[in-house]
Amino acid sequence: MTLMDVRAESFDRALELSQLGRFNVFLVCTAGIVLADVYLETTTMNFVLPVSQCDLHWTQTERNLLGAVSYIGIIVSAHGWGSLADSIGRKKVLAPTLIIFSVSGAASVILVYLGEFHCQKLRDKSIMFSCFVMSVFSLVSPLVAWGILNGDWWFDIPWLGVRYTPWRLFMVVCATPGLISGFLILIFPESPKYLLSNNQEKEAIKVLQSIFSTNTRKDKCLYPVRSLISDSDSIECDIEKLGLKNVMAVMWNRTKPLFSKNYIRDTTIFCTLQFVLYSSNFGMFVFFPDIIPN
């Protein structure tokens, strides 16, 4: 190895040198499945509520609460998932929540995880394509609901005291993408950006070498970067060091810069746009339980 082979590069340039290939395509598709789990988690109940009425005899209040509970969960927990991911790692949050709990609150982390594997000029495109994968699921899910929920069959499970009907099968089917994506996340490494920001430069370079090897089918030792120039955007693992009693303080310290004089305008614009987009997108599903029976 010559002196010219030993290179120190910025993180963005190091990502660019790992090249674009199979690893990125697989990651984008996996991120799309995670986002699809978000979509299914927030819309499944709106398909299920009308057909489960005969079995469970919901009151109107119960139906309203069940239709809104997934949105409430995402709003309440998303900030906490983000802080936890900054403290212990993106992968350590994503995989367990999707596999064990099959919850999509941690999906607030997936776009960060996806973006940190792509250089700046490819980051927005990778997120766009992952959203396209989610859109495919959003088109297919009503067809799946129509195919399953129109079934006229049932069987009893005596040891559970449950009558298994099509709507229960539909809920299992809708939980499947979250389970699959959780196991797929286990295949991927931790975010190299996270590793670098936590002073794990060697581990970050190993991840980049692995990406380079997967994309180019060349030996890892041919990856030209041997050292990374860390930027100022560092992450401190406060939660692990300070303990649970200081979690809220850590979260607030990370959040309050968004409301400072320098960022309050951008924060307000971004939050308003997100509110309008998500209200128009997911808001219509809130009315489904009352529209479908009529």
Residue-wise over 118-156: b if at least 16 C-beta within 10 A, else e?
A: bbeeebeebbebbeebbeebeeebeeebeebbeeeeeee
- pLDDT for position 6: 54
Judged against a pLDDT cut of 80, whether residue 250 lies above it is answered with no
Domain assignment present for residue 126? The answer is yes
Residue 223 φ then ψ, to 5°:
-65, 125
243: left (phi over 0), alpha (psi -120 to 50) or beta: left
pLDDT value of position 118: 94
Look at residue 77 and tell me if it is in a domain.
Answer: yes
Q: Could you list the residue range(s) of the whole structural domain that residue 16 is in?
A: 3-235
Mean pLDDT within 283-294: 68
More confident residue, 263 or 252: 263
Q: Out of 52-66, 223-237, 253-267, pick the least confident.
A: 223-237
Are β-strands 225-229 and 155-157 bridged in parallel, bridged antiparallel, or unpaired?
A: unpaired
pLDDT tier at 4 (50, 70, 90 boundaries)? very low
Which residue type is seen at 41? E
Is 198 part of a structural domain of the chain? yes
Average pLDDT over residues 165-181: 91
pLDDT at 249 over 90: no
82-91, 94-103, 151-160, 247-256: segment of lowest average pLDDT: 247-256
**Vertex 123 angle, CA 207 and 251, to 5°:** 80
In this structure, what are the phi and psi dihedrals at residue 155, rounded to the nearest 5 degrees? -155, 150
CA 192/CA 188 separation, integer angstroms: 11
The reply to whether 209 falls in a domain is yes
Q: How many domains does the chain have?
A: 1
Band (pLDDT 50/70/90 cuts) for residue 99 is confident
Residue 49 forms part of a structural domain:
yes
What's the confidence (pLDDT) of residue 98?
A: 87
Q: Whole-number mean pLDDT of the chain?
A: 84
Q: Report pTM.
A: 0.85
Residue 101 lies in a domain: yes
Q: Which two tokens mark 35?
A: 């986002």
pLDDT at 63: 82
CATH number of the domain within which 168 lies? 1.20.1250.20
- Chain Cα centroid distance, residue 269: 23
- Phi-psi label, residue 230: left if phi above 0, alpha if psi -120 to 50, beta otherwise: beta
- The pLDDT tens digits of the residues spanning 185-198 come to 999 999 999 999 88
The DSSP bridge partners found for residue 10 are 229
Q: How far apart are CA 91 and CA 70, in angstroms?
A: 23
Tell me if 245 is assigned to some domain: no
Band (pLDDT 50/70/90 cuts) for residue 3 is very low
pLDDT digits (tens, 9 = 90+) for 125-147: 999 999 999 899 888 988 999 99
